[in-house]
Amino acid sequence: MSTKLIDEENSPKKMQIKEVHLKVLDLCKEDEASVNPGDCWAFHGSFGNVRIRLAEPVIITSFSLYHIPKQLSPTGKIKSAPRNFSVVVSLFFTH
């Protein structure tokens, strides 16, 4: 099964549409998650929103969000680390 990133919203731009085909396993393999600088899905600004449409219904058992540790940061700071995030699931999504 594949997933489709249907849009990415971040500031200062209000809406930016991207279509990327991703394998579900690439999103789900926690043991292979990278916290190295540059291996990221970067957002610009202070707000971000990603919507992912799955090809078929799934049962979501967990969700993880990773950020590089301070020790690996090129600047020694992690001011860009997410402070709040939420996951919203919709069974009826139209685009």
Q: What are phi and psi of 73, to 5 degrees?
A: -70, 130
Taking only the tens place, the pLDDT of each residue in 13-38 is 444 444 444 444 444 445 556 666 66
The residue with greater pLDDT, 11 or 71, is 71
Tokens (6 digits) for 63: 């969700």
CA separation for the pair 57, 48 (Å, rounded): 24
In three-state secondary structure terms, 50 is strand
What pLDDT does residue 25 have?
44
Mean pLDDT of 41-45: 67
Segment among 12-26, 52-66, 75-89 with least mean pLDDT: 12-26
The sign of the dihedral angle between the CA atoms of 39, 44, 45, 49 is negative
DSSP sequence for 43-61: --SS-EEEEEEESS-----
What pLDDT does residue 14 have?
45
